[in-house]
Amino acid sequence: MSRVVVKCGGAVAASAAPSILGLVGDGHSVCVVHGAGPQISAEMRRRGIEVEFVHGRRVTTAGALEVVRSSFEDVNRALCSALGSAAVGLFGDEIGLAATPIAGLGLVGEPLPSSPPAVEDALRAGRVPVVAPLAVGPLNVNADEAAAALAIGMGADRLVFVTDVAGLLHAGAVVEAIGADDAERLLASGELDGGILPKLGAAVTAARQGVAAAIGETAVLA
């Protein structure tokens, strides 16, 4: 049975369940990591908290972290409900997801490869762990990076990013496949911005550790 980690962004979490259940139905062992980016930003603005990103990572104050957690709770609950009784909602900081603090971003960390016992227990029981990307601290971690760290730590066969775009867009077209070296050059060029930065970086990290990675229709190759 192959292991698949699926990362779905907050913008598509509500509609991602059929794709996830399709993988389960095909016999894959599936772990889900979700974001809540649009929900967090909207609530921060409502509360008058500045929304700021650095290289795709959200600058997170103590007040912002409260919003992050509550938004993750809402998305996690809704996604688990959509997936049905097989889903197990988990929070990374409660199950031992480790991260290295990142200077200058507040309560933000870079997740380390791991395979938390709660995730392994759920998979062995035939369940679908649905992980909110917080790390011990607590620290806010980018969901794309958390998915890659879990995929590497779990020895997953595939890492799939479900997003609201078709894939990596470059020169006005979707890129069918990109090698890790070319992806890193593209990331360093400054041509890309926004949410694709952590996605592509995370996909490169996973691919180089032997995990087949895809962002929508774009395969990222080692």
pLDDT tens digits, 22-75: 999 999 999 999 999 999 999 999 999 999 999 889 999 999 999 999 999 999
* Structural contact between residues 58 and 140, judged by C-beta atoms closer than 8 angstroms: yes
Task: Give the burial class of 171: count Cβ atoms within 10 A of its Cβ; 0-12 exposed, 13-18 middle, 19 or more buried.
Answer: exposed
Confidence band, pLDDT 50/70/90 cuts, at residue 119: very high
Q: Provide CB contacts within 8 A for 66, sequence distance 6+.
A: none
CA 1 remoteness from chain centre: 22
CA 32 to chain centre: 8
Q: Which CATH number fits domain 3-221: 2.60.40.1180, 3.40.50.300, 3.40.1160.10, 1.10.10.10?
A: 3.40.1160.10
Residue spans of the domains in the chain: they are: 3-221
pTM summary value: 0.96
- Tokens, residue 17: 């369940």
Would you state the pLDDT for residue 189?
Answer: 94
140-161 pLDDT, tens digit per residue, is 999 999 999 999 999 999 999 9
> Over the stretch 4-37, which tens digit does the pLDDT of each residue have?
999 998 889 879 999 999 999 999 999 999 999 9
Is 5 within 8 Å of 156 (Cβ atoms)? yes
DSSP 93: H
